[in-house]
Amino acid sequence: MFSPNKKNTSLPAQPDISQFRFAIVASEYNAKISDALLNGAIECLHLHNVTENNITVIRVPGAFEIPITAQRLAVTNNYSAIICLGAVIRGETAHFEYVAGECARGIQDVALKTSVPVIFGVLATHTLKQAQARAKNNDSNKGREAARAAIAMAALFNRLP
């Protein structure tokens, strides 16, 4: 509880993230969408002075394989954050719900079990058109958004005790 009479401890200054290491796990399924998300994430990291040497990209067959791969990367303690990218687009069966839901749950589980920021940048859309709109080469690209979240969380975790 906040008390005006107690000295509040502040966090250290914002770190230089250019030396942080990031992993990106990207699905090969729905490749045009995943590739656009991946390009957006990498561009964002470069804009924040993260070099190619500090970015590891791992491709997996589909969204269902993202969490286990993120976990393998997280337990190495080599990465400041892991960005998970892909697209699950609703079809005519219940497959969409299982894949999207389990992917989200798995990514969250990895973050909670390892204390490494694992960012959910997997689109779950009703149509291809919706996925394309979220993967455009502009500031609303969800890959860029995921990279911004990874940068923010990596910086925060670097400052936390």
CATH code assigned at 41: 3.40.50.960
Q: Establish if 117 belongs to a structural domain.
A: yes
Q: What is the pLDDT along the chain (161 residues), one digit of tens a residue?
A: 444 555 555 666 677 888 899 999 999 999 999 999 999 999 999 999 999 999 999 999 999 999 999 999 999 999 999 999 999 998 777 777 888 889 999 999 999 999 999 999 999 999 999 999 999 999 999 999 999 999 999 999 998 88
Helix (H) or strand (E) segment spanning residue 25 = strand 22-27
Hey, what are 49's tokens?
Answer: 């002075």
**1 inside domain:** no
Could you tell me the CA-to-CA distances from 45 to 27, 41, 101, 137 in Å, in that order?
Answer: 19, 6, 27, 15
Residue 50 lies in a domain: yes
Rounded Cα–Cα distance for residues 70 and 27 (Å): 12
State the DSSP H helix or E strand holding residue 22, giving kind and residue range, or none if neither: strand 22-27
Q: Which residues are catalytic?
A: 95
Residue identified by tokens 């991946």 is: 38
pTM of the prediction? 0.90
Please tell me the total count of domains within the chain. Answer: 1
Q: Is residue 67 in a domain?
A: yes
81 DSSP 8-state letter: E
* Domain region containing 99: 19-159
In a domain? residue 9: no
Question: Does residue 140 lie within any of the structural domains?
Answer: yes
Residue 2, in any domain of the structure:
no
